[in-house]
């Protein structure tokens, strides 16, 4: 369990978590948090909405390139 918790903490350092607020209903959480890339397999890959690009991390063989690394 400790190893899993440590992994979660590492991911939170790399990818800050945006908390939902009442204004989140009116604005996307990723945009509100200042994000420009949202990784999800649930949205159209490559779609850009209000400056936030949606990318399916499972649709690429080069995740580093997707993240700009």
Contacts of 64 (CB under 8 A, 6+ apart): none
State the pTM of this model: 0.57
- Give tens-digit pLDDT for 29-48: 777 788 888 888 888 899 99
- Compute the distance between CA of residue 21 and CA of residue 40 in angstroms, rounded to an integer: 21
Q: Which two tokens stand for residue 35?
A: 């994000």
What strands lie across the sheet with 52-55, from one edge to the other?
37-39, 52-55, 48-49
As a residue count, the chain comes to 69
Q: How confident is the model at residue 65 (pLDDT cuts 50, 70, 90)?
A: confident
């Amino acid at each position: 369990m400790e190893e899993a918790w440590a992994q979660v903490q590492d991911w939170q350092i790399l990818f800050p978590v945006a908390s939902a607020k009442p204004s989140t209903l009116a604005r996307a959480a990723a945009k509100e948090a200042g994000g420009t890339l949202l990784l999800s397999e649930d949205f159209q890959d490559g779609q850009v909405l209000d400056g936030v690009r949606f990318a399916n991390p499972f649709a690429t063989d080069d995740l580093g390139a997707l993240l700009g690394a």
